[in-house]
């Protein structure tokens, strides 16, 4: 991924008279094109999703006592098995479960422990490491995968979203795209861009890519009179983006690329930090996640969906007890959501540790019984045939993948 300072880019954008909010560099999605039919979509759920609410362990006798408010009355219509039930906001995904295209991993976590910082937790999740490396040496595990995929090109990996993704940062080049907003230039600005590109190859390449990708959704580059208030235009773009269902626009763009030569896509969904009134605040992000998965399936079409695996992962779980404001606090063990036509689904994977006091981590959190990185490694192994030694040594640095869970068909 091109190494670009946001501050530096904003400064240059102001001189050029283009909407900084329009730059794919500021709202990344990540993708990659490699030979073969398999596709991998990685969705980072930023904010620490409460896996115990998403996948409710009704079969555990301690569940209701620990969550007298959040453990709503058991709904047999949402039962996945005798032990687990689904949150109502994901009810639309039940047909996927029945077709074996939806699954879960319970009680899983990165190696991150105890401090429970969103920033550090997300960095370790995306870096795929045991602990934090100095900022200058950080790279993402999907980026480290790229050199081991024969025929990989820059568009093999694509970053989608409104924040930089460490997951795809590193030496391997990737492309970026942002939803909702387009490159807005005055005619004088375009001329100045051309002059700038003559003497600044890095900036020129990035802006050329921004203009090309802005047109990839059919809107193209918008030209405006030279007397407008550029800052107002920027803020207008940002507000317009926030009003739309950006997750569906991301899914549309991702599907378009995956139907072509892209094979790996990564983006993030936020809103999972549910300290207060979780019964209400968790509905919106769960609905967005369900909509995104179903939209991907529809937009990809059956032949491509049958070769697609979706991994949804979060930085850590949340406390097993609800707090005094009807929410949950930062925890440890969490849940992965898996989907796709390539998935051997209809299963809850992982080892359930129990919710008894002696079973909990530090008597407050769900005990992790597996490493998130191992599930991701097996998905890459089964999707692209990457050797286990490469995944354990080069992609995840010292990981023991354990026994194959038979993740994919």
- pLDDT at res. 195: 59
- pLDDT at res. 35: 60
Could you tell me the pLDDT band of residue 237, with boundaries at 50, 70 and 90?
very low
Mean pLDDT over the full length of the chain: 81
Q: Mind listing the domains of the chain with CATH numbers?
A: 25-180+245-395 (3.40.720)
Cβ(133)–Cβ(239) under 8 Å? no
Could you tell me the pLDDT band of residue 24, with boundaries at 50, 70 and 90?
very low
Q: Does residue 374 register a pLDDT over 60? A: yes
Cβ(96)–Cβ(102) under 8 Å? yes
Mean pLDDT is highest, among 159-173, 178-192, 256-270, for 256-270
Could you tell me the pLDDT band of residue 182, with boundaries at 50, 70 and 90?
very low
Distance CA 255, CA 31 (A): 11
- pLDDT at res. 220: 46
Residues paired with 41 in a beta bridge: 265, 310
Q: What is the mean pLDDT of residues 186-210?
A: 53
β-strand 308-314 against 39-46: which pairing, if any?
Answer: parallel
Contacts of 97 (CB under 8 A, 6+ apart): 80, 86, 103, 345, 346
- pLDDT at res. 330: 98
The 10 Å CB-count burial string (b at 16+, else e) for 56-80 is bbbebeebeebbeebbeeeeeebeb
- Side-chain half-sphere exposure of 237, counting CA atoms within 13 A: 23
**122-137 pLDDT per residue, tens:** 999 999 999 887 665 6
Query: Which tokens go with 223?
Result: 């030209």
Nearest 5°: the CA angle 259, 265, 270 is 125
Could you tell me the pLDDT band of residue 2, with boundaries at 50, 70 and 90?
very low
- pLDDT at res. 181: 46
Distance CA 341, CA 329 (A): 34
Does the pTM of the predicted model rise above 0.75? yes
């Amino acid at each position: 991924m091109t190494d670009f300072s946001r501050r530096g880019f904003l400064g240059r954008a102001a001189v050029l008279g283009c909407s900084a909010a329009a730059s794919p560099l500021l709202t990344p999605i990540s993708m990659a094109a490699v030979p073969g039919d398999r596709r991998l979509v990685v969705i980072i759920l930023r904010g620490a999703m409460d896996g115990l609410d998403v996948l409710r362990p009704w079969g555990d006798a301690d569940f209701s006592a620990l969550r007298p408010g959040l453990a709503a009355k058991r709904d047999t219509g949402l039962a996945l098995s005798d032990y687990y039930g689904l949150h109502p906001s994901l009810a639309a995904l039940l047909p996927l479960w029945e077709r074996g295209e939806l699954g879960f991993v319970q009680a899983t976590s990165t190696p991150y422990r105890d401090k429970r910082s969103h920033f550090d937790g997300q960095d370790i999740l995306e870096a795929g490491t045991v602990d934090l490396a100095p900022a200058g040496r950080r790279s993402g595990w999907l980026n480290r995968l790229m050199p081991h995929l024969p025929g990989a090109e820059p568009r093999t990996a694509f970053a989608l979203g409104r924040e930089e993704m460490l997951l795809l940062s590193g030496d391997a080049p990737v492309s970026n795209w942002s939803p909702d907003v387009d490159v807005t230039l005055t005619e004088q600005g375009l001329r100045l861009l051309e002059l700038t590109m003559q003497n600044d190859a890095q900036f020129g390449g990035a802006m050329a890519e921004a203009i090309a990708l802005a047109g990839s959704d059919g809107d193209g580059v918008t030209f405006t009179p030279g007397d407008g208030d550029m800052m107002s235009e920027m803020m207008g773009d940002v507000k317009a983006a926030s009003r739309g269902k950006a997750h569906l626009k991301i899914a549309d763009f991702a599907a378009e690329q995956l139907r072509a030569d892209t094979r790996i896509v990564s983006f993030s969904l936020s809103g999972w930090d549910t300290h207060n009134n979780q019964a209400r605040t968790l509905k919106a992000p769960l609905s967005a996640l369900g909509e995104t998965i179903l939209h991907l399936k529809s937009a990809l079409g059956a032949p491509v969906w049958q070769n697609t695996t979706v991994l949804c992962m979060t930085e850590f779980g949340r406390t097993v007890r609800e707090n005094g404001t009807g929410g949950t606090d930062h925890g440890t063990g969490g849940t992965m959501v898996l989907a796709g036509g390539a998935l051997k689904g209809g299963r809850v994977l992982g080892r359930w540790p129990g919710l008894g006091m002696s079973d909990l981590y530090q008597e407050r959190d769900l005990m992790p019984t597996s490493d998130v990185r191992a599930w991701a490694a097996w998905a890459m192994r089964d999707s692209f045939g990457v050797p286990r030694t490469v995944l354990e040594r080069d992609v995840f640095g010292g990981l023991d993948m354990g026994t194959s869970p038979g993740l994919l068909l």
